[in-house]
Amino acid sequence: MILDLLFPNRCIHCNRIIDSELLVCDLCFSQIYFTHYSYFENNPIKEKCSLFFPVENTFALLQFEKESLSRQIIHELKYKGREKAGKIIADWTTERLDFKNEKPDLLVSVPLHPKKLKERGYNQLHLFTETLAAFYDVPFDHQLIKRNHYSKAQALKDKKHRLEAANTFSATQPISGKHILLIDDVFTTGNTVSSVAWEILNAGNNKVSVLVMAMDV
């Protein structure tokens, strides 16, 4: 309580004092670019994923536009130590995503390399994934896929290096006959999601859908 008085939570966009459980104030919330994609219908992320691997359904919550509040929100989560932002973004997702009667069997998030995890202190996708799993009553597995190589942040790479991800990931155990929802933060080239998806598809008779926090448009 005393810390809240001395260091009140502020809107990441306009700096107004806001509730400790929020990221942005009500006024700035209207400036967030939501995609309004349908999970079951064709959308830009499905079109791009389909170029790389067989994909069932896709959903992106935000548009990751340059200099946008959406981009700022993701950067707060990934680089500013705002791990709890993952739950807030998940809550926004559950308000907009309905699996109807076709829930996936398992939620799997893109892993960090152990060295990167130690540097950051948390995987920015874990709380997001766990919040979704609890809401939709679907299990999650943070250990199914491992990252084999340490690399610098995607945001710091040029396009050429983003495309170099051969053997970056591997499955840690056999899995077959499952519909897996693959979760990532930002969809850019599609290379990361594709690499993980193929590990899942090659592991057995599985199906893959994709959910990302934001799509770089």
pLDDT (tens digit, 9 = 90+) per residue, 131-157?
A: 999 999 999 999 999 999 887 655 545
Q: Band the pLDDT of 115: cuts 50, 70, 90.
A: very high
For a pLDDT cut of 90, what percent of the chain falls above it? 84
Among 103, 111, 185, 116, smallest CA distance to 152 is for 116
pLDDT at 7 over 80: no
In terms of pTM, does the model score above 0.95?
A: no
**What average pLDDT score do residues 112-119 get?**
92
By CB atoms closer than 10 A (0-12, 13-18, 19+), residue 2 is exposed
Asked if 16 and 75 count as a contact pair (C-beta separation under 8 A), the reply is no
| Each residue's pLDDT tens digit, 48-81 | 999 999 999 999 999 998 889 999 999 999 999 9
Read off the pLDDT of each residue in 40-46 and give the average, rounded to a whole number.
Answer: 96
Domains of the chain as residue ranges with CATH: 1-30 (no CATH), 32-215 (3.40.50)
Residue 128 has pLDDT above 90, yes or no: yes
Residue 16, token pair as written in the block = 């107004």
Q: How far apart are CA 112 and CA 144, in angstroms?
A: 12
